[in-house]
Amino acid sequence: MNKTWGRHAAVLCIAAFGLTGCGGDDKPTSSSTPTPTTSGSAASPSSSGSASGSGSASPSPSVSASPSATASVPAAAKARTEAGAIAFLNFYFDQAGKGLLEPRKAPDLFAIADKDCIACKKTQDLFAEYAKGGWSMRQSGIRIENAALATEITAPSVLLNFTFVQTEQPLYQYGQKTSHKISASNTKKGAALKWVNGAWQMYDIENL
């Protein structure tokens, strides 16, 4: 990835989840919610907790997400090697996927990310929106493929190129399956990691 890492150009990892607006009137209303660019049908979590589609849900009071402790970083993801950086990348997306399975108990991504990580902030906001609207998934369907180092491992900001694969997944609201879904996607991306105090941190993510 031969370019300067620009935060203004960062493509949020939420878009990687395939969260495009589907037909109907239940698109997110929060100004902090990104407008994804992927195509196909997908989730339209509403801040009002309603959704169009098949099946009726019995709304319960809105509950905001309360970030829970992030799982311990596995030993394999603690090494300052290419394999260690890739293991950390997989761990990050594993945590991000878990946040959509149980939004009310979503992990705090900033426990493993730079405080200014734009993609992390947008993903954390999405967890809160899902929790507020009663949305969730049963399986994340996320897979990282062909991850490879694009810089020296000792660089201040290490860059990894990879392919983000998302399989189509149905969405649930208040425990009931809806017609909304996470679209399948296959996207080439880059992630910037920083080595801070003997550990990796997610710095940001962008499409290639």
Q: What is the DSSP string of 96-136?
A: HHHHHHSGGG-B-GGGSB-TT-HHHHHHHHHHHHHHHHTEE
Answer yes or no: is pLDDT of 153 > 70. Answer: yes
For residue 60, being part of any structural domain is answered with no
Q: Report pLDDT for 45.
A: 32
Structure tokens at 136: 């969730």
User: b/e string for 140-160 if b means 16 or more Cβ within 10 A?
Assistant: bbbebeebebbbeeeeeebbb
Q: Lowest mean pLDDT of 26-30, 124-128, 149-153, 196-200, name the range.
A: 26-30
- Give the strands of the sheet with 135-137, arranged side by side: 135-137, 169-173, 176-182
Does 165 map to a domain?
yes
In a domain, 100, yes or no: yes
The overall average pLDDT reported for the chain is: 76
Under the banding of pLDDT at 50, 70 and 90, the label for residue 69 is: low
The answer to the question of residue 199 being in a domain is yes
Structural domain range at position 199: 9-21+28-33+77-207
Q: Report whether pLDDT(16) > 90.
A: no
Q: Is residue 176 part of a domain?
A: yes
Q: Is residue 162 part of a domain?
A: yes
Higher pLDDT, 6 or 146: 146
Give the pLDDT mean for 25-40. Answer: 32
Give tens-digit pLDDT for 92-111: 999 999 999 999 999 999 99
Q: Is the pLDDT of residue 179 over 80?
A: yes
Say how many domains are in the chain.
1
Residue 81 near residue 60, CB atoms below 8 Å: no
pTM: 0.73
Q: How confident is the model at residue 117 (pLDDT cuts 50, 70, 90)?
A: very high
| pLDDT value for 29 | 33
List, in order, residues 6 or more apart from 123 with CB less than 8 Å away.
12, 13, 14, 96, 99, 109
CATH of the domain at 132: 3.10.450
Instruction: Please indicate, yes or no, if residue 46 is contained in any of the structural domains.
Output: no
pLDDT band at 87 (very low <50, low <70, confident <90, very high): very high
Any residues with CB less than 8 A from the CB of 131 and at least 6 apart, and which? Answer: 63, 64, 65, 103, 104, 106
Whether 164 is covered by a domain: the verdict is yes
Q: Work out the average pLDDT over 106-118.
A: 96
Average pLDDT of the residues in 105-134: 96
Task: Please report, for residues 6, 23, 83, 112, 135, the alpha-carbon distance to residue 128 in angstroms, rounded to integers and kept in the order given.
Answer: 26, 22, 32, 18, 10
